[in-house]
Chain A
Amino acid sequence: MALLAEYDQTSWRPGTLRIYESIGSIGAKYCYLNKVKPKEFYNLISEFNGNGSYIDSDNTFDNPDFDFAKLAKLFEEPISIVSKLSLNLINDLPKLYKQTRYSLWGNNMFSYCPTCMAAGYHSELHQIHWVDKCFIHGDNLVNVTNKEKSIKGFRNDIKLLKPIFDTWFLNSAIWESAKTSRWSLIDNELINTQAKKFCSALIYTEKKLQNDSILFGKNNESNLLLQVKAKNSLNRVFKTVHQNKAMSFEKPLKYPCSAEIADLLVKIGPKGIGHFMHSRQITCIESEMPIWKTILNDLPKSLLKKHSKCLKLYKNSFESIEKTRIRWCYGHEYVHPPYDMSRFDRVPCPRIVTLNLLQMLLNVEDSLIPESITYYGKCNSKEINYSFYDIGSLDNLIEAGIVTKWIGYIEIGTHQILKQYTPGFMFESEVEPDFRYINIPICQGILTEIIDQLLLVHLQTWICALYEVEMNSNVIDSQINLKNHFRAKIHELSPSIILKKTNDGVELLIGTMTSKRLPKWCNSIRDEKGHYDTVKKRSNELEVTFDELLAYRMRMNDLFQLRANLIRSFVRKRS
């Protein structure tokens, strides 16, 4: 502080600070004007930070101890502008946070609006992870990998300084007036107007939120959008900036019931709903056959249509290679089989990979449950017996007739088409039994209807995610981990659901990111014979590659053994 009092002069162009400007943007300009390295700016900011008692935010200026008055004095900027660098206005929205996990955390990329950058402006609002369009211009934000490392003692937003500096001052094409003595900048009034609309939608939603509804969904951004929509505060600006703008909102589904039951249903909470979704899947009997169950049962058949030969080819290839591995590779270094299910480009037919991915959603261990249940860790069928302890008013639910106890055996792994084609499977003894004895509460009556609806919506999402992954040529050609990609896709497309009380019961408001119509899997292949020939050819190529690799590994292993023996005999002779 003493330093600032003594040497309180810096170069800044008064009147050039913009509201909600990011610290990276200010820092880049500061470093340019003062001809200093970022370190000097960090030191300056640390003097304004005070005790640094941050609230949950990624934004330096959201620190309640930040000395805006001092910054205003140093830069000779009006305090009205300087104090609007903070997003505090929309940072502390507790109800919204609680219900949707709403947050202003920035993404790890450097996200910018080209139009804003051309006008010498970058905002913290461009960095928010659920925003993908400029809140001022509506332009798509450009995302660039930010390779800068975090700086100890500072929030992550300070990492933006270098990329912004490079964009403006090492490249004169972006902001033409960057290196001139007079900057042409975006109008503060325009920013203010647009930001106000954006913030007011959130603040309005926060005010309207009540405790008589529960919201669940894996994607916090979708949850936020649905919550805003449900409160009729979805203005144009918010809809534009939000990345999940493609969300379709269905008409609320009404479930008439008494006020007492409605109360009980709402009180179950997301975690309880998750448990009942889980139990419903494993205990649903054939005679009931809800829509989701029919779709689920038909899915493997749909996927195998026109691809049964591909699967057979894969089966033969796998078995012959496994035999080779068992015979020749025993005691040798592990050799990866030619088909690699974690990558499309290592499997001759993408559908085989899709079938493999399908297992992820057909396994009871990884079923159609909201993320909340996985707080316990991986929820498997052993744990399901115990996970119901947490549902608060279970007795009341049983008494009201919407929940009952179920005791019996469940069959697991029935849909695991490719399980036996997993490398190493042939060596394994029976790790898990096919049946399990469980004693769990299950839904019934109106709760079953609600749960069936939720399972249907989730299943649609999962199937669409499967389809999108297989149809995405960029993914097929890349070497990314498919399971992770598939999980990310499911997360992205995850629906958001609000269950709330009404005058005559409860209603479900569902926001989906996918079409209601299920994809037609057969359409992806026109020439069945041509496809099979291609698959066969590729399969042969992979097998040849595998043979070569295997031979190489074995030769190397033998050479290694030979070398080891030579050394051993040499050492023995010497001694």
Chain B
Amino acid sequence: MPYLQSVERTKISTRMMAGRAFLIKTPICANYLKVISNWLTTGSHGGLVYGQPRLGKTSATRWALKMLVELIGNFPLIEVPVRNQNIASEKAFFQHILHCVRHRHYMVGSAGDKRDALNEWLVTRAKRATINAAVIFFDEAQFLKNEHYKWLLNISNELDINGCRLFCLLVGQPELEEVKTNFIETGKEQIVGRFMARELEFTGISAQEDLISALIEFHNTIYPIENNILFAENFIPQAINSGFKLNALGPAMWSAFETLWIASGVSGSVVVPMHYFTAALIGTLNTLVDSDGEFLDIQQSIVMDAVKASGFRESLKIRKILEMNRSGK
């Protein structure tokens, strides 16, 4: 049985790190949701969301869009993980979007046929949506090329003709901001005006309170749902049943992230990407499995080791190098 439990814990940990277990609300997510809701309800056709890697943009966007349905009603949504292509092909582009839609005939027809099929799919559903719009969430949108934007413009125009709206949520790395700047410089105002008028810089956890808030969300999550137990109960059931709460780890965890940040010499205030935070939490819980009991003794070193093992330190090193490169040193 202990072996089985161990396997189960590994499964949960892996699913968590892959972002496929559950989505939690953080203060950043809450803000993100508010912003997207505002964009969608004020008639925008798109928005830019960019940020450093591993911040949890994709998961946050998924969470926000899921919550948005409850706020503003159902709407058609397509999540498109953008592929980097050397040569942009209209046929491949629309085929990929149809594939993401799970359209039965995504492989069939010419570029025009695929565009028309996508249009039909979007229009039919957008018309029935409360916001009269369809949302396409482009993940890693920095890979989109000029042509892609033109084709999106065509789709958007056709939806306009049919009395509905296409909203393109472009989520990606900070290079996205550069793409926008380039468009402005080369006079492609139509694309910027349509899809990039709104923007949001996504950040990680930047205060101890935010970290504690995220820990509270983790603590309150029931996972796996079929087992009807708290997420942390999979690791430290006795402690949880005795009243231990994950937010108790907050100060120690923040202190560990802060220590590593200062030690790395990276400029600015501390920002903890969600990925490393989640990894550190999973690491800590896995370490505490053996010492699970009514009274859990959590030493700072356990948390520090987990934070170090999360890969945060290595990411800071890369960040430092990039900073130095930018400043020309």
Q: Residues of A at under 8 Å CB distance from B?
A: 3-4, 6-14, 33-37, 40, 44, 181
Contact across chains for A8 and B124 when beta carbons are under 8 A apart: no
Known: A36-B109, A181-B123, A181-B162. A9 touches B116 (CB 8 A): no
From 99 to 142 in chain B, residues with beta carbon under 8 angstroms from any chain A beta carbon are 101-106, 108-109, 112-114, 116-117, 120-121, 123-124, 128
Once bound together, how far apart are the Cα atoms of A12 and B103, in whole Å?
A: 11
Contact across chains for B120 and A11 when beta carbons are under 8 A apart: yes
Q: A11-B121, A35-B108, A35-B116 are in contact. List 11 more A-B contacts (CB 8 A).
A: A7-B106, A10-B104, A13-B124, A34-B105, A34-B120, A35-B105, A35-B109, A35-B114, A35-B117, A40-B105, A181-B123
Once bound together, how far apart are the Cα atoms of A396 and B172, in whole Å?
A: 97
Contact across chains for A36 and B124 when beta carbons are under 8 A apart: no
Contact across chains for A36 and B108 when beta carbons are under 8 A apart: yes
| Complex: chain A residue closest to B128, CB-CB | A14
From 141 to 186 in chain B, residues with beta carbon under 8 angstroms from any chain A beta carbon are 161-162
Instruction: State the Cβ distance, B156 to closest chain A Cβ, in Å.
Output: 15
Once bound together, how far apart are the Cα atoms of A33 and B106, in whole Å?
A: 13
Contact across chains for A10 and B128 when beta carbons are under 8 A apart: no
Residues of A within 8 A of B128 (CB): 14
Residues of B within 8 A of A10 (CB): 103-105
Residues of B within 8 A of A4 (CB): 104
Instruction: State the Cβ distance, A274 to closest chain B Cβ, in Å.
Output: 56
Contact across chains for A34 and B117 when beta carbons are under 8 A apart: yes
Residue among A4, A33, A35 facing the most chain B CB atoms (10 A cut-off): A35
From 78 to 106 in chain B, residues with beta carbon under 8 angstroms from any chain A beta carbon are 101-106
Residues of B within 8 A of A11 (CB): 103, 117, 120-121, 124
B121 partner, pick from A9, A14, A36, A40, beta carbons under 8 A = A9
User: Chain A's interface: helix, strand, loop or mixed, by majority?
Assistant: loop
Residues of B within 8 A of A9 (CB): 101-104, 121
Once bound together, how far apart are the Cα atoms of A367 and B162, in whole Å?
A: 68
Once bound together, how far apart are the Cα atoms of A35 and B161, in whole Å?
A: 20
Residues of A within 8 A of B162 (CB): 181
Once bound together, how far apart are the Cα atoms of A6 and B107, in whole Å?
A: 14
Residues of A within 8 A of B109 (CB): 35-36
Once bound together, how far apart are the Cα atoms of A181 and B128, in whole Å?
A: 13
| Complex: chain B residue closest to A41, CB-CB | B105
22 contacts between A and B (CB under 8 A): A3-B104, A6-B102, A7-B104, A7-B106, A9-B102, A9-B103, A9-B104, A11-B103, A11-B121, A14-B124, A34-B104, A34-B117, A35-B108, A35-B114, A35-B116, A35-B117, A35-B120, A36-B108, A37-B108, A40-B105, A181-B123, A181-B161
Residues of B within 8 A of A37 (CB): 108
- Bitwise interface map of B from 266 to 281 toward A, beta carbon under 8 Å scored 1, else 0: 0000000000000000
Contact across chains for B116 and A7 when beta carbons are under 8 A apart: no
Residue among B104, B108, B109, B120 facing the most chain A CB atoms (10 A cut-off): B104
Residues of A within 8 A of B102 (CB): 6-9
| Complex: chain B residue closest to A4, CB-CB | B104
Once bound together, how far apart are the Cα atoms of A376 and B162, in whole Å?
A: 66
Once bound together, how far apart are the Cα atoms of A3 and B109, in whole Å?
A: 18
Once bound together, how far apart are the Cα atoms of A44 and B104, in whole Å?
A: 9
A35 partner, pick from B101, B113, B123, B124, beta carbons under 8 A = B113
Residues of A within 8 A of B104 (CB): 3-4, 7-10, 34, 40, 44
Residues of A within 8 A of B116 (CB): 35
Instruction: State the Cβ distance, B91 to closest chain A Cβ, in Å.
Output: 12
Instruction: State the Cβ distance, A9 to closest chain B Cβ, in Å.
Output: 5
Residues of A within 8 A of B120 (CB): 11, 33-35
| Complex: chain A residue closest to B124, CB-CB | A13
From 246 to 263 in chain B, residues with beta carbon under 8 angstroms from any chain A beta carbon are none
| Complex: chain B residue closest to A12, CB-CB | B124
Instruction: State the Cβ distance, B108 to closest chain A Cβ, in Å.
Output: 5
| Complex: chain B residue closest to A43, CB-CB | B104
Instruction: State the Cβ distance, B119 to closest chain A Cβ, in Å.
Output: 9
Once bound together, how far apart are the Cα atoms of A37 and B101, in whole Å?
A: 20
Residue among A4, A14, A34, A37 facing the most chain B CB atoms (10 A cut-off): A34
Instruction: State the Cβ distance, B298 to closest chain A Cβ, in Å.
Output: 45
Contact across chains for B117 and A40 when beta carbons are under 8 A apart: no
Once bound together, how far apart are the Cα atoms of A40 and B113, in whole Å?
A: 14
Residues of B within 8 A of A3 (CB): 104
Pairs A-B, 6 closest by C-beta atoms: A35-B113, A11-B120, A181-B162, A7-B104, A9-B103, A9-B102
Residue among B106, B124, B128 facing the most chain A CB atoms (10 A cut-off): B124
Residues of B within 8 A of A12 (CB): 124
Instruction: State the Cβ distance, B200 to closest chain A Cβ, in Å.
Output: 30
Instruction: State the Cβ distance, B182 to closest chain A Cβ, in Å.
Output: 34
- Bitwise interface map of B from 289 to 315 toward A, beta carbon under 8 Å scored 1, else 0: 000000000000000000000000000
Once bound together, how far apart are the Cα atoms of A11 and B103, in whole Å?
A: 8
Residues of A within 8 A of B161 (CB): 181
| Complex: chain A residue closest to B163, CB-CB | A181
Once bound together, how far apart are the Cα atoms of A12 and B120, in whole Å?
A: 8
Once bound together, how far apart are the Cα atoms of A40 and B120, in whole Å?
A: 17
